[in-house]
Amino acid sequence: MNQDFCFRNITHGMETLKSSFSLPRHRHLEPYATVVVEGCLEEAGYNGRILAGAGDVLIHPQLDCHANPRVLAGVRIVRLPWTDRLILSGIYHIDDVGAIARAAEKDSVQASMLLGESLRQRE
């Protein structure tokens, strides 16, 4: 088994990335959602190569393995815990990203529930 990857922790909530960077292939022990509020980031994983912009939502399942070859300075993202078994991994889009961002500033679990409702309404 190739172990050229590391496990990375997730910090839930809003984050503005201060500098451009890339992350080699890595895994996360817990499932989570990333909502892009502003800017764009690139991800390469099981779902292919994705360039995600404002309003895009990336759902990462448990033990997801991906790389972030390009993340630009100034990107604002929200990382949320993800327990919704009906919304599978992949990329989605929401229209009211501001509502998720505002909710995440107060309570990441509540923001995650709001995101799940928003994604189910789009299906």
> Do 35 and 6 form a contact (C-beta atoms < 8 A)?
no
Determine which of 3-7, 36-40, 50-54, 100-104 has the lowest per-residue pLDDT on average. 3-7
Quote the CA–CA distance of 35 and 104 in Å, as a whole number: 10
Residue 92 has pLDDT above 80, yes or no: yes
Secondary element (H or E) of residue 102: helix 97-106
Q: What percent of the chain has pLDDT over 90?
A: 55
pLDDT at 2 over 70: no
Predicted local confidence at residue 1, as pLDDT: 41
- pLDDT of 5 above 70: no
Please give the pLDDT value at position 66.
87
The beta-strand segments (E) located in the chain are 6-7, 13-16, 21-27, 32-38, 40-45, 48-53, 56-60, 65-71, 76-81, 90-93
| Mean pLDDT value across residues 58-66 | 88
Q: How much is the average pLDDT of 8-33?
A: 88
- Whether the model clears a pTM of 0.85, i.e. scores above it, the answer is yes
As a whole-number percent, the residues of the chain with pLDDT over 70 amount to 95
pLDDT at 4 over 60: no
Q: Rounded to an integer, what distance in angstroms lies between the CA atom of residue 44 and that of residue 76?
A: 19
